[in-house]
Copies of this chain bind each other. A is one copy, B any other.
Amino acid sequence: MKKTEDSLSTEGSSALMADVARLAGVATSTVSRALANPGRVNEKTRARIAAAAEQLGYTPNAAARNLRVGKSNVIMIILPGSLHYGASQIIPQVLEAVNRTVIRNGYNLMIANLDRDESSERHILDLAFGGTVRGALILSSQLPVVANRSLAEAGLPIVSLLLDMSDTSVPSIITNDRQAVKEAGRELLALGHRRFFYIAGPTGNYHDIERYAGLLEALQEAGLSERHVTRSGGQFTFQFGFETGLQAAEDFAKLDEKPTAVVATSDDMAISFMSKVQKMGWRVPEDLSIVSFDGSPVCEYCAPPLSTIEQPMEALGETATEFLIARMEKSDERRELRVVIPSRFIRRDSIAVNSKLAT
Protein backbone atom coordinates (compact mmCIF):
# COMPACT_ATOMS: atom_id res chain seq x y z
CA MET A 1 0.00 0.00 0.00
CA LYS A 2 1.68 3.09 -1.26
CA LYS A 3 1.26 6.25 0.71
CA THR A 4 -0.11 9.40 -0.78
CA GLU A 5 2.01 12.48 -0.32
CA ASP A 6 -0.12 13.97 2.38
CA SER A 7 -0.71 10.88 4.45
CA LEU A 8 0.25 11.12 8.08
CA SER A 9 3.72 9.98 8.87
CA THR A 10 2.62 7.73 11.69
CA GLU A 11 0.02 5.68 9.91
CA GLY A 12 0.73 2.15 8.85
CA SER A 13 4.18 0.70 8.47
CA SER A 14 4.61 1.11 4.78
CA ALA A 15 6.88 4.02 3.89
CA LEU A 16 9.20 2.72 1.19
CA MET A 17 12.56 3.91 0.10
CA ALA A 18 10.85 5.16 -3.03
CA ASP A 19 8.61 7.36 -0.91
CA VAL A 20 11.61 8.85 0.84
CA ALA A 21 13.30 9.40 -2.52
CA ARG A 22 10.26 11.17 -3.92
CA LEU A 23 9.91 13.40 -0.90
CA ALA A 24 13.59 14.29 -0.95
CA GLY A 25 13.63 14.72 -4.71
CA VAL A 26 16.37 12.17 -5.41
CA ALA A 27 16.70 8.64 -6.77
CA THR A 28 16.25 5.61 -4.56
CA SER A 29 19.85 4.64 -5.04
CA THR A 30 20.86 7.91 -3.48
CA VAL A 31 18.64 7.27 -0.53
CA SER A 32 20.16 3.85 -0.11
CA ARG A 33 23.63 5.30 -0.21
CA ALA A 34 22.80 8.15 2.13
CA LEU A 35 21.48 5.73 4.71
CA ALA A 36 24.25 3.16 4.44
CA ASN A 37 27.30 5.26 3.46
CA PRO A 38 26.62 8.77 4.72
CA GLY A 39 30.14 9.74 3.72
CA ARG A 40 29.70 9.10 0.05
CA VAL A 41 26.94 11.61 -0.55
CA ASN A 42 26.65 15.37 -0.51
CA GLU A 43 25.97 16.59 3.00
CA LYS A 44 23.02 18.72 1.93
CA THR A 45 21.34 15.87 0.09
CA ARG A 46 22.05 13.57 2.99
CA ALA A 47 20.35 15.93 5.40
CA ARG A 48 17.35 16.30 3.11
CA ILE A 49 17.05 12.54 2.81
CA ALA A 50 17.41 12.03 6.53
CA ALA A 51 14.67 14.54 7.15
CA ALA A 52 12.38 12.90 4.64
CA ALA A 53 13.02 9.47 6.14
CA GLU A 54 12.36 10.79 9.61
CA GLN A 55 9.18 12.51 8.54
CA LEU A 56 7.82 9.38 6.92
CA GLY A 57 8.94 7.15 9.76
CA TYR A 58 10.83 5.12 7.20
CA THR A 59 12.30 1.79 8.22
CA PRO A 60 14.08 -0.36 5.64
CA ASN A 61 12.40 -3.64 4.85
CA ALA A 62 14.54 -6.36 6.32
CA ALA A 63 13.47 -9.15 3.99
CA ALA A 64 14.33 -7.14 0.90
CA ARG A 65 17.72 -6.21 2.26
CA ASN A 66 18.49 -9.73 3.38
CA LEU A 67 17.51 -11.10 0.02
CA ARG A 68 19.61 -8.57 -1.81
CA VAL A 69 22.74 -8.85 0.29
CA GLY A 70 22.41 -12.59 0.66
CA LYS A 71 22.67 -12.71 4.42
CA SER A 72 20.51 -12.11 7.41
CA ASN A 73 21.34 -10.40 10.64
CA VAL A 74 19.85 -13.03 12.84
CA ILE A 75 21.76 -15.25 15.21
CA MET A 76 20.12 -18.35 16.57
CA ILE A 77 20.68 -19.82 19.99
CA ILE A 78 19.87 -23.48 20.30
CA LEU A 79 18.78 -24.29 23.83
CA PRO A 80 18.07 -27.60 25.49
CA GLY A 81 14.44 -28.69 25.52
CA SER A 82 13.65 -27.57 29.00
CA LEU A 83 14.55 -24.05 29.95
CA HIS A 84 13.65 -24.02 33.59
CA TYR A 85 15.29 -25.68 36.46
CA GLY A 86 14.51 -25.49 40.12
CA ALA A 87 16.70 -22.67 41.27
CA SER A 88 19.50 -22.15 38.82
CA GLN A 89 19.48 -19.12 36.58
CA ILE A 90 21.93 -20.38 34.02
CA ILE A 91 19.59 -20.21 31.04
CA PRO A 92 18.25 -16.72 31.72
CA GLN A 93 21.73 -15.50 32.54
CA VAL A 94 23.22 -16.78 29.33
CA LEU A 95 20.26 -15.50 27.33
CA GLU A 96 20.64 -12.09 28.82
CA ALA A 97 24.34 -11.88 28.11
CA VAL A 98 23.96 -13.26 24.61
CA ASN A 99 21.08 -11.02 23.72
CA ARG A 100 22.83 -7.93 25.00
CA THR A 101 25.92 -8.71 22.97
CA VAL A 102 23.96 -9.65 19.88
CA ILE A 103 22.01 -6.39 19.89
CA ARG A 104 25.07 -4.29 20.63
CA ASN A 105 26.60 -5.64 17.45
CA GLY A 106 23.56 -4.94 15.34
CA TYR A 107 22.16 -8.45 15.15
CA ASN A 108 18.99 -10.10 16.38
CA LEU A 109 18.52 -13.18 18.46
CA MET A 110 16.25 -16.04 17.57
CA ILE A 111 15.44 -18.87 19.95
CA ALA A 112 15.52 -22.44 18.81
CA ASN A 113 14.64 -25.31 21.07
CA LEU A 114 16.41 -28.55 20.69
CA ASP A 115 14.31 -31.36 21.92
CA ARG A 116 15.35 -34.76 20.88
CA ASP A 117 12.56 -35.17 18.37
CA GLU A 118 12.99 -34.96 14.66
CA SER A 119 10.59 -32.09 14.12
CA SER A 120 12.56 -29.69 16.25
CA GLU A 121 15.82 -30.73 14.63
CA ARG A 122 14.28 -30.27 11.21
CA HIS A 123 13.05 -26.87 12.24
CA ILE A 124 16.52 -25.77 13.26
CA LEU A 125 17.97 -27.02 10.00
CA ASP A 126 15.36 -25.11 8.02
CA LEU A 127 16.40 -21.97 9.82
CA ALA A 128 20.00 -22.58 8.90
CA PHE A 129 19.61 -23.79 5.32
CA GLY A 130 16.85 -21.33 4.54
CA GLY A 131 19.17 -18.46 5.27
CA THR A 132 17.07 -17.18 8.14
CA VAL A 133 20.04 -17.22 10.45
CA ARG A 134 23.61 -16.22 9.87
CA GLY A 135 25.25 -17.95 12.79
CA ALA A 136 24.38 -20.29 15.63
CA LEU A 137 25.18 -20.66 19.28
CA ILE A 138 24.45 -24.02 20.79
CA LEU A 139 24.14 -24.56 24.51
CA SER A 140 25.29 -27.83 25.90
CA SER A 141 23.87 -30.02 23.14
CA GLN A 142 24.97 -31.95 20.10
CA LEU A 143 24.49 -30.58 16.61
CA PRO A 144 21.20 -31.54 14.98
CA VAL A 145 21.26 -33.87 11.99
CA VAL A 146 18.28 -34.99 9.93
CA ALA A 147 18.41 -37.13 6.82
CA ASN A 148 20.90 -35.57 4.43
CA ARG A 149 21.29 -32.27 6.22
CA SER A 150 23.49 -31.52 9.19
CA LEU A 151 23.95 -28.22 10.92
CA ALA A 152 27.67 -28.65 10.59
CA GLU A 153 27.30 -28.50 6.81
CA ALA A 154 24.94 -25.56 6.66
CA GLY A 155 27.84 -23.26 5.90
CA LEU A 156 27.32 -20.98 8.87
CA PRO A 157 29.56 -20.36 11.83
CA ILE A 158 28.67 -22.24 15.00
CA VAL A 159 29.96 -21.81 18.51
CA SER A 160 29.30 -24.25 21.31
CA LEU A 161 28.71 -23.13 24.85
CA LEU A 162 29.54 -25.29 27.86
CA LEU A 163 29.93 -28.48 25.86
CA ASP A 164 33.39 -29.07 24.45
CA MET A 165 32.97 -29.86 20.76
CA SER A 166 36.42 -28.80 19.71
CA ASP A 167 37.18 -32.37 18.65
CA THR A 168 34.72 -31.91 15.78
CA SER A 169 36.13 -28.49 14.90
CA VAL A 170 33.31 -26.55 16.49
CA PRO A 171 34.81 -23.73 18.55
CA SER A 172 33.77 -24.18 22.15
CA ILE A 173 33.58 -21.76 25.01
CA ILE A 174 33.69 -23.86 28.12
CA THR A 175 34.30 -23.81 31.83
CA ASN A 176 36.83 -25.83 33.73
CA ASP A 177 34.39 -27.93 35.73
CA ARG A 178 36.99 -30.58 36.32
CA GLN A 179 39.45 -28.19 37.84
CA ALA A 180 36.78 -26.50 39.91
CA VAL A 181 35.57 -29.74 41.51
CA LYS A 182 39.13 -30.71 42.07
CA GLU A 183 39.70 -27.59 44.09
CA ALA A 184 36.52 -28.08 46.06
CA GLY A 185 37.60 -31.65 46.68
CA ARG A 186 40.96 -30.46 47.95
CA GLU A 187 39.28 -28.14 50.41
CA LEU A 188 37.11 -30.95 51.69
CA LEU A 189 40.14 -33.21 52.01
CA ALA A 190 42.00 -30.49 53.86
CA LEU A 191 39.10 -30.33 56.30
CA GLY A 192 39.67 -34.00 57.00
CA HIS A 193 36.94 -35.58 54.90
CA ARG A 194 37.75 -39.04 53.56
CA ARG A 195 34.45 -40.56 52.51
CA PHE A 196 32.49 -38.82 49.75
CA PHE A 197 28.97 -39.02 48.44
CA TYR A 198 28.56 -37.97 44.82
CA ILE A 199 25.12 -37.09 43.44
CA ALA A 200 25.39 -37.60 39.71
CA GLY A 201 23.59 -35.94 36.82
CA PRO A 202 22.38 -37.88 33.81
CA THR A 203 24.61 -40.84 33.10
CA GLY A 204 27.08 -40.22 30.31
CA ASN A 205 26.50 -36.48 30.36
CA TYR A 206 29.60 -34.49 29.51
CA HIS A 207 29.38 -32.29 32.57
CA ASP A 208 28.81 -35.20 34.85
CA ILE A 209 31.82 -37.05 33.51
CA GLU A 210 34.05 -34.01 33.90
CA ARG A 211 32.88 -33.29 37.40
CA TYR A 212 33.29 -36.80 38.61
CA ALA A 213 36.74 -36.94 37.08
CA GLY A 214 37.70 -33.79 38.95
CA LEU A 215 36.65 -35.30 42.24
CA LEU A 216 38.65 -38.45 41.55
CA GLU A 217 41.70 -36.42 40.69
CA ALA A 218 41.53 -34.66 44.02
CA LEU A 219 41.22 -38.00 45.77
CA GLN A 220 44.17 -39.42 43.89
CA GLU A 221 46.30 -36.50 44.95
CA ALA A 222 45.49 -37.44 48.52
CA GLY A 223 46.28 -41.07 47.84
CA LEU A 224 42.64 -42.15 47.91
CA SER A 225 40.89 -44.30 45.35
CA GLU A 226 37.46 -44.32 43.81
CA ARG A 227 36.35 -46.65 46.60
CA HIS A 228 36.12 -43.60 48.83
CA VAL A 229 33.22 -42.33 46.78
CA THR A 230 29.66 -43.58 46.87
CA ARG A 231 27.63 -42.56 43.83
CA SER A 232 23.95 -41.77 43.73
CA GLY A 233 21.64 -40.29 41.11
CA GLY A 234 22.32 -40.76 37.43
CA GLN A 235 18.81 -41.74 36.43
CA PHE A 236 17.40 -38.30 35.82
CA THR A 237 18.30 -35.33 33.70
CA PHE A 238 19.49 -32.13 35.34
CA GLN A 239 15.96 -30.82 34.99
CA PHE A 240 14.81 -33.13 37.72
CA GLY A 241 17.37 -32.04 40.24
CA PHE A 242 15.02 -31.88 43.18
CA GLU A 243 13.81 -35.42 42.65
CA THR A 244 17.37 -36.63 42.27
CA GLY A 245 18.33 -34.97 45.53
CA LEU A 246 15.43 -36.52 47.41
CA GLN A 247 16.27 -39.95 46.07
CA ALA A 248 19.89 -39.41 46.97
CA ALA A 249 18.87 -38.63 50.53
CA GLU A 250 17.07 -41.98 50.70
CA ASP A 251 20.15 -43.70 49.35
CA PHE A 252 22.31 -41.89 51.84
CA ALA A 253 20.15 -42.95 54.75
CA LYS A 254 20.64 -46.59 53.83
CA LEU A 255 24.41 -46.52 53.84
CA ASP A 256 26.20 -48.41 56.57
CA GLU A 257 29.30 -46.31 56.55
CA LYS A 258 28.19 -42.71 56.15
CA PRO A 259 30.24 -40.40 53.99
CA THR A 260 30.94 -37.01 55.56
CA ALA A 261 31.15 -34.91 52.40
CA VAL A 262 28.68 -34.55 49.55
CA VAL A 263 29.36 -33.30 46.04
CA ALA A 264 26.16 -32.63 44.12
CA THR A 265 26.22 -31.87 40.41
CA SER A 266 23.52 -29.24 40.64
CA ASP A 267 22.25 -26.83 43.25
CA ASP A 268 18.76 -28.28 42.91
CA MET A 269 20.06 -31.67 43.96
CA ALA A 270 21.94 -30.17 46.88
CA ILE A 271 18.98 -28.11 48.05
CA SER A 272 16.46 -30.93 48.16
CA PHE A 273 19.06 -33.35 49.48
CA MET A 274 19.99 -31.04 52.32
CA SER A 275 16.39 -30.31 53.13
CA LYS A 276 15.61 -34.00 53.39
CA VAL A 277 18.65 -35.18 55.34
CA GLN A 278 18.13 -32.35 57.79
CA LYS A 279 14.60 -33.57 58.37
CA MET A 280 16.03 -37.03 58.91
CA GLY A 281 18.19 -35.64 61.66
CA TRP A 282 21.58 -34.95 60.16
CA ARG A 283 23.13 -31.58 60.70
CA VAL A 284 24.91 -29.58 58.03
CA PRO A 285 27.81 -28.98 58.23
CA GLU A 286 28.43 -30.70 61.57
CA ASP A 287 27.56 -34.18 60.31
CA LEU A 288 27.78 -33.56 56.63
CA SER A 289 29.49 -31.04 54.35
CA ILE A 290 27.84 -30.18 51.03
CA VAL A 291 29.16 -28.62 47.84
CA SER A 292 27.21 -28.24 44.63
CA PHE A 293 27.17 -26.79 41.16
CA ASP A 294 25.79 -23.80 39.30
CA GLY A 295 26.11 -20.88 41.67
CA SER A 296 22.38 -20.33 41.98
CA PRO A 297 21.87 -17.06 43.81
CA VAL A 298 19.45 -18.66 46.24
CA CYS A 299 22.21 -20.84 47.71
CA GLU A 300 23.31 -17.90 49.78
CA TYR A 301 20.00 -17.94 51.65
CA CYS A 302 19.80 -21.62 52.39
CA ALA A 303 20.29 -22.80 55.97
CA PRO A 304 23.19 -23.14 56.12
CA PRO A 305 24.31 -21.17 53.07
CA LEU A 306 25.37 -23.63 50.39
CA SER A 307 28.86 -23.79 48.96
CA THR A 308 28.60 -23.91 45.21
CA ILE A 309 30.67 -23.74 42.07
CA GLU A 310 29.52 -20.81 40.00
CA GLN A 311 29.43 -21.11 36.26
CA PRO A 312 30.36 -17.75 34.74
CA MET A 313 27.38 -17.65 32.40
CA GLU A 314 27.53 -13.97 31.59
CA ALA A 315 31.15 -14.16 30.55
CA LEU A 316 30.46 -17.36 28.64
CA GLY A 317 27.54 -15.85 26.78
CA GLU A 318 29.32 -12.66 25.93
CA THR A 319 32.51 -14.37 24.87
CA ALA A 320 30.71 -16.93 22.76
CA THR A 321 28.66 -14.28 21.00
CA GLU A 322 31.64 -12.10 20.23
CA PHE A 323 33.51 -15.11 19.03
CA LEU A 324 30.67 -16.09 16.74
CA ILE A 325 30.30 -12.63 15.32
CA ALA A 326 34.01 -12.39 14.64
CA ARG A 327 33.75 -15.61 12.69
CA MET A 328 30.72 -14.39 10.79
CA GLU A 329 32.29 -11.13 9.79
CA LYS A 330 35.89 -12.06 9.18
CA SER A 331 36.34 -15.75 8.89
CA ASP A 332 40.09 -15.53 9.25
CA GLU A 333 40.03 -14.41 12.86
CA ARG A 334 39.45 -16.31 16.03
CA ARG A 335 40.75 -19.64 14.80
CA GLU A 336 41.27 -21.17 18.22
CA LEU A 337 38.92 -24.01 19.02
CA ARG A 338 38.67 -23.71 22.77
CA VAL A 339 38.27 -20.89 25.19
CA VAL A 340 38.17 -21.87 28.84
CA ILE A 341 36.58 -19.55 31.34
CA PRO A 342 37.21 -20.44 34.95
CA SER A 343 34.39 -21.42 37.26
CA ARG A 344 34.46 -19.99 40.73
CA PHE A 345 34.21 -22.00 43.91
CA ILE A 346 32.15 -20.09 46.44
CA ARG A 347 32.81 -21.39 49.91
CA ARG A 348 30.00 -20.95 52.38
CA ASP A 349 28.97 -22.49 55.70
CA SER A 350 27.79 -25.79 54.28
CA ILE A 351 31.28 -27.18 54.54
CA ALA A 352 33.33 -27.54 57.70
CA VAL A 353 35.33 -29.98 59.74
CA ASN A 354 33.12 -32.92 60.59
CA SER A 355 32.07 -33.26 64.23
CA LYS A 356 33.15 -36.88 64.34
CA LEU A 357 36.47 -36.16 62.75
CA ALA A 358 37.24 -33.16 64.87
CA THR A 359 40.41 -33.45 66.86
Contact = CB atoms under 8 A, between A and B. Distances in A.
Interface string A122-156: 01011111111000000000000001111001111
Interface string A58-101: 01111110110000101000000011111101011101100110
A301 to B, nearest CB: 4
Contact of A242 (B85, B110, B301): B301
A141 B162 CA distance: 32
A129 B67 contact: no
A288 to B, nearest CB: 15
Contacts of A11: 153
Interface in A103-124: 103, 108-113, 120, 123
A320 to B, nearest CB: 16
A82 B108 contact: no
A12 interface: yes
A59 to B, nearest CB: 4
B110 A96 contact: no
A247 to B, nearest CB: 14
A37 interface: no
A303 to B, nearest CB: 6
Interface of A: 9-14, 54-55, 57, 59-64, 66-67, 72, 74, 82-87, 89, 91-93, 95-96, 99-100, 103, 108-113, 120, 123, 125-132, 147-150, 153-156, 242, 268, 271-272, 274-275, 278, 296-298, 300-303
Given A59-B149, A274-B301, 8 more contacts: A13-B154, A57-B129, A57-B148, A59-B130, A63-B67, A82-B96, A87-B296, A275-B301
